[in-house]
Chains A and B, each alone.
Chain A
Amino acid sequence: MAKLERMELITRKIFRGRMKGERRSSRKGQSVEFADFRNYVPGDDLRFIDWNLFARLDRLYLKLFLEEEDLHLSMLIDDTPSMRFGSPTKLWAASQLAASLGYIGLCRGDRVSISSFHAASPHVYRGRSSTNRLLGSLMEINEVSQDRRSDHPATAKQGGLSPHNGMASAIKSFCSRNTGKGIVVIISDLMDKDGYESGLKMLLAKELDIFLIHLLSPEELSPTLTGDLKLVDCEDGDIREVSISATMLSRYKKTLSEFIETAKAFCRRRGITYVPASSDTPIDTLIEQYLRVRGLVR
Chain B
Amino acid sequence: MTWMNSLTSSQWLVLLSIPPLVILLYFLKLKRSPVEVSSTYLWRKSIEDSHVNSLWQRLRKSLLLLLQLLFLLALIVACLRPGWSGTQTVGQRSILMIDNSASMTTTDVLPNRLEVAKAEAKKLIREMGTNDVAMVIAFSDRADVRQGFTGDRNRLLKSIDSIPPSARTTDLNEAMRAAAGLANPGRVSFDGMNDIQVAEALPATVSLFSDGGFSSLSEFSLGNLSVRYIPIGTAAIDNVAIEAFSILRNEERPDEVEAYARVVSYCLDPIESTASLYLNDTLVDAVKIQVAPGKESGVMFDLKNVDVLRGVFRMVLDRDDQMMVDNIAYAATRPTKPSNVLLVTPGNKPLVTALNTAAIQAMANVDVVETEILSGSESSQQLLQRTDLDLIIFDQCTPLKMPMANTLFIGGVPPQSDWIIGKTSVPINLIDLDRTHPMMEFLELNSVRIVEGHSVTPPPGGKVLIRADNGPVFAIAPRGPYQDAVLGFAIVRQSEKGVELNTNWGINRSFPLFVFAAVDFLSGVTTQQAASSTQPGQPVQLSLSNRYQTFEVIDPSGTKSILDMSPSGQYIYTSTDAPGAYYVKAQNESVNTLRDAEKDSRLSMEERQTTSTTTTDKLVEIFTANLFSPRESNVATLKELSIGGEEVVGLVGKTVSRTEYWRWLLLFGIGMLVTEWFVFHRRSY
Contact = CB atoms under 8 A, between A and B. Distances in A.
Given A229-B34, A230-B33, A245-B60, A251 B40 contact: no
A229 B35 contact: yes
A238 B31 CA distance: 18
Interface string B25-56: 00000111111111111111111011001100
B38 A86 contact: yes
Interface string A220-259: 1000010111111111001111110101100110111001
Nearest to B45: A255
A248 B46 contact: yes
A191 B33 CA distance: 23
B57 interface: yes
Interface string A81-115: 11111100010000000000000000000000000
A193 interface: yes
B37 A231 contact: yes
Interface in A174-229: 189, 191-193, 217, 219-220, 225, 227-229
A82 B46 CA distance: 18
B40 A238 contact: yes
Contact of B38 (A220, A228, A230, A243): A220
B44 to A, nearest CB: 6
Contact of B37 (A227, A228, A232, A241): A232
Which of B36, B39, B54 has most A Cβ within 10 Å?
B39
A233 B46 contact: no
Nearest to A81: B38
A38 B31 CA distance: 80
Contact of A234 (B37, B46, B49): B37
A150 B557 CA distance: 95
A193 B39 contact: yes
Which of B38, B42, B54 has most A Cβ within 10 Å?
B38
B58 interface: yes
Contact of B35 (A84, A230, A255): A230
A231 B40 contact: yes
Contact of B47 (A90, A189, A240): A240
Nearest to A258: B45
B102 to A, nearest CB: 75
B38 A248 contact: no
A255 B34 CA distance: 22
Interface string B45-84: 1110110011001101000000000000000000000000
A191 B57 contact: no
A234 B42 contact: no
Contact of A233 (B39, B50, B60): B39
Contacts of B44: 238, 240
3 A-B pairs with least C-beta separation: A85-B38, A191-B39, A82-B38
24 contacts: A82-B38, A90-B38, A191-B41, A193-B41, A225-B37, A228-B33, A228-B58, A231-B36, A231-B37, A232-B37, A232-B40, A234-B36, A234-B38, A235-B38, A238-B40, A238-B44, A239-B34, A242-B46, A247-B57, A252-B46, A254-B46, A255-B46, A255-B49, A256-B42
Given A229-B34, A251-B46, 12 more contacts: A84-B38, A85-B38, A189-B38, A193-B41, A228-B31, A231-B37, A232-B37, A240-B40, A243-B57, A247-B50, A252-B46, A254-B49
